[in-house]
Amino acid sequence: MFMHRFSSQPAETLLSDPTTFAVVTFNGCCEVSIPGLIHSGIEALPESESVEVWQIPGAEVQREQRGDCYITKTQDVLCAAVCASATECLDIKQAAYRSYMQLIDIMAETAYPYPLRFWNYLPHINRGAGDREYYKVFCEGRLNAFSQSGYLNEQFPAASALGHGGDAAVFYVFASKQPAKHFENPTQEKAYHYPRQYGKSRPSFARATALSPQRESTLFISGTAAIVGHESIHCGATQAQVETTLDNIRTLLAHSGRHISALQSFKVYLRDAAALTQVKNIVQSQFPKVATLYTRADICRDNLLVEIEAHCESGASAGKQEPLIRTKTQTLRLQ
Ligand code: 3EB
């Protein structure tokens, strides 16, 4: 249903196309002020495109503003985005709660009540110690909003949560008129069951979310990192973290019944820009056909160096099946 690609065209040109569902920029600016256009706050790395485009072939989107929220609708899906200012972000628990309540209210009002995927781009995500670490406090506000709105753990959708160098936050959601289907990774603890050491409130997301059964070919894969069980592994080792992350994505694809050839795009978030060449070499050699955007971002645990999110569509290209290739790390782990 979605066509996800990266581009260097001006946002206005992309938005003038009625099939353009959302345009997300990666130029360090963090703002939403036009429906359909989201400035993430994250920066693309050199030689990467600076814009991502979500299009829905055949659709005629409607764009509108509702209060602080900027929305795009088709017959089936909604995109809603909201920004929290630098001042609001001083209390990230409240800012996350308020922003999520706004997005959830819009989903209810417009009758797209089933979230498919959230993106959370936050300032200074690793600031603070113990339970006061910024990301953990964000998780408290997010869970409060979900709980108060009646969402159960099993209804949380796919998500990404990354940090940038700015001081505001942007939150956006893709939601559906039809119930979605959520998946977990059998080699990872469910995020909403992580042990207490990761904060007062557990992270509220699923490892992947598919559109309703009729449209199951679309799969949103959450930000994925070198986490096995609930623990970060290979801390300090970029190459091993990237390999484990890619293995986690393969496991999730297999578990959700998707073939590798369904992978349409990757977005790679790197804590250290200097690791770009090394990471690119690994990703390109393992997935030469997947369109990939490389960005500089802080990962929500300070011991993680890389996070990768993915989008899958199995349509026209689904017939071109390639053999499943297992990497050394995955083979070792499966023993
Ligand atoms: C993890 O697996 C790594 O809090 O929304 C990945 C995807 C991560 C989404 C979120 C966090 C989130 O726990 C971090």
For the chain, domains (ranges, CATH) are 3-315+324-334 (3.30.1330.40)
Alpha carbons 211 and 31: distance in angstroms, whole number: 28
113 in Cβ contact with 80 (< 8 Å): no
Q: What is the pLDDT of residues 117-132, one digit of tens each?
A: 999 999 999 999 999 9
209 Cβ below 6 A of ligand 1: no
Ligand 1 centroid, distance to 191 Cα (angstroms): 7
Angle (nearest 5°) at CA 150 between 115 and 172: 30
The stretch 72-92 carries a mean pLDDT of: 98
72 Cβ below 6 A of ligand 1: no
pLDDT attached to residue 318: 39
Given a cut of 50, is residue 40 above it in pLDDT? yes
Q: Which of 99-113, 154-168, 210-224 has the lowest mean pLDDT?
A: 210-224
pLDDT attached to residue 320: 39
| Residue located nearest, by CA, to atom 13 of ligand 1 | 191
204 in Cβ contact with 113 (< 8 Å): no
Alpha carbons 297 and 302: distance in angstroms, whole number: 11
Q: What is the pLDDT of residues 220-275, one digit of tens each?
A: 999 999 999 999 999 999 999 999 999 999 999 999 999 999 999 999 999 999 99
Please give the structure tokens belonging to residue 60: 């005629």
The stretch 142-147 carries a mean pLDDT of: 98
Atom of ligand 1 nearest to the CA of 198: 13
| Coil, helix or strand at residue 66 | strand
| Coil, helix or strand at residue 322 | coil
Pairing of strands 263-270, 291-296: parallel
245 in Cβ contact with 283 (< 8 Å): no
pLDDT band at 315 (very low <50, low <70, confident <90, very high): low
Ligand 1 centroid, distance to 227 Cα (angstroms): 10
Given a cut of 80, is residue 72 above it in pLDDT? yes
Say which DSSP state 78 is in.
E
Our mutation pick for probing the ligand 1 site, out of 142, 160, 252, 305, counting the most ligand atoms within 8 A of Cβ, is 160
Q: In what order do the strands lie in the sheet with 51-55?
A: 3-7, 51-55, 20-25, 37-40, 30-34
pLDDT attached to residue 314: 87
pLDDT attached to residue 217: 86
Atom of ligand 1 nearest to the CA of 135: 4
248 in Cβ contact with 240 (< 8 Å): no
Kindly report the average pLDDT of the chain as a whole number: 93
Given a cut of 50, is residue 65 above it in pLDDT? yes
The stretch 9-25 carries a mean pLDDT of: 97
Q: What is the pLDDT of residues 19-38, one digit of tens each?
A: 999 999 999 999 999 999 99
Alpha carbons 264 and 275: distance in angstroms, whole number: 23
Q: What is the pLDDT of residues 86-112, one digit of tens each?
A: 999 999 999 999 999 999 999 999 999
Active site residues: 307
pTM of this structure: 0.94
